[in-house]
A and B are shown apart, each in its own frame.
Chain A
Amino acid sequence: MNLTLKIWRQKNAASPGCFETHEARDVSPDMSFLEMLDVVNERLIAGGQEPFVFDSDCREGICGTCSLVINGIPHGSRKGTTVCQLHLRYFKDGQTVTIEPWRARAFPIVKDLIVDRAAFDRIMQAGGFVSVNTGNAPEANALPVSKEIADLAMDAAACIGCGACVAVCKNASAMLFVAAKVSHLNYLPQGKAEKDRRVKNMVSQMDKEGFGNCTVTGSCEAVCPKEISLDFIAKMNRDYAVALVKGELKKSAAGGVG
Chain B
Amino acid sequence: MSLDARIPSGPLAQKWDRYKSDMKLVNPANKRKFDVIVVGTGLSGGAAAATLAELGYQVKAFCFQDTPRRAHSIAAQGGINAAKNYQNDGDSVFRLFYDTLKGGDFRAREANVFRLAQVSASIIDQCAAQGVPFAREYGGTLTNRSFGGAQVSRTFYARGQTGQQLLLGAYQAMCRQISLGNIRMYPRTEMLDLVVVDGVARGIVVRNLVTGEISLHSADAVVLATGGYANVFFLSTNAIGCNVTATYRAYKKGAFFANPCYTQIHPTCIPVSGDHQAKLTLMSESLRNDGRVWVPRRKEDCGRPPASVPEADRDYYLERKYPSYGNLAPRDIASRAAKEVCDTGRGVGPGGRGVYLDFSDAIKRSGEDAIRDRYGNLFEMYERITGENAYRQPMHIYPAVHYAMGGTWVDYGLMSTLPGLFVVGEANFSDHGANRLGASGLMQGLADGYFILPYTIGHYFASTKQVKVPASHAEFKKAEEGVRQFTRRLLSINGQRSATSFHKELGRLMWENCGMARTRQSLEINLKRIPELREEFWKNVKVTGSGEELNQNLEHAGRVADFLEFAELLCLDALHREESCGGHFRVEHQTEDGEAKRDDANFAYVAAWEFKGADKKPELHKEPLVCEEVHMATRSYK
- A interface list, Cβ under 8 A from B: 11-12, 27-28, 30-32, 34-36, 38-39, 42, 44-46, 48-51, 53, 55-65, 78, 80-81, 85, 87, 89, 110-111, 114, 116-118, 120-121, 124-126, 128-141, 143-147, 150-151, 153-154, 157-158, 160-161, 184-185, 188, 190-191
Contacts and interface: CB of A to CB of B under 8 A. Distances in A.
A32 B54 CA distance: 42
8 contacts: A30-B273, A35-B278, A42-B500, A51-B544, A110-B210, A136-B129, A140-B125, A140-B142
B302 to A, nearest CB: 19
B276 A128 contact: no
B553 A38 contact: no
Q: Which of A56, A133, A146 has the most CB of B within 10 A?
A: A133
Contacts of A34: 278
B298 to A, nearest CB: 27
B249 interface: no
A118 B67 contact: yes
Top 9 closest pairs, chain A to chain B, by CB: A144-B140, A137-B129, A129-B172, A154-B133, A140-B128, A137-B125, A150-B136, A125-B179, A57-B239
B176 interface: yes
Contacts of A144: 136, 139-141
Contact of A60 (B68, B75, B179, B451): B75
Contact of A58 (B75, B139, B187, B454): B75
A110 B552 CA distance: 13
A134 B67 contact: no
Interface residues of B, number: 84
Interface of A is mostly: loop
A63 to B, nearest CB: 5
Interface in B246-286: 273-274, 276-279, 281-282
B172 A128 contact: yes
A145 B136 contact: yes
Contacts of A188: 131, 133
Contact of B54 (A134, A143, A184): A134
A195 B164 CA distance: 22
A141 B86 contact: yes
B384 A87 contact: yes
A57 B141 contact: no
A158 B161 contact: yes
B66 A116 contact: yes
Interface in B453-505: 454, 496, 498, 500-501
B367 interface: no
A121 B277 contact: no
Contact of A65 (B70, B127, B158, B277): B70
B552 A85 contact: no
A34 B239 CA distance: 13
B109 interface: no
Nearest to B72: A58
A53 B552 contact: yes
Nearest to A136: B129
A57 B241 contact: yes
Contacts of B386: 30
Given A89-B387, A150-B136, A42 B66 contact: no
Contacts of A133: 51, 54
Contacts of A30: 273-274, 386-387
B615 interface: no
B19 to A, nearest CB: 16
B141 A141 contact: yes
Interface in B60-100: 65-70, 72, 74-75, 84, 86
Q: Which of A46, A135, A160 has the most CB of B within 10 A?
A: A135
A256 to B, nearest CB: 25
Interface string B173-189: 10110110000010100
A126 B164 CA distance: 21
A194 to B, nearest CB: 10
Given A30-B386, A50-B545, A80-B380, 20 more contacts: A30-B273, A32-B278, A42-B498, A51-B544, A59-B239, A62-B74, A63-B75, A117-B66, A118-B67, A121-B67, A130-B129, A135-B122, A136-B129, A137-B125, A137-B130, A139-B125, A144-B140, A158-B159, A160-B74, A161-B67
Given A51-B544, A87-B387, A161 B69 contact: yes
A146 B136 contact: yes
Contacts of B142: 140-141
Contacts of B200: none
A56 B178 CA distance: 25
Contacts of B384: 78, 81, 85, 87
Contacts of A161: 67, 69-70
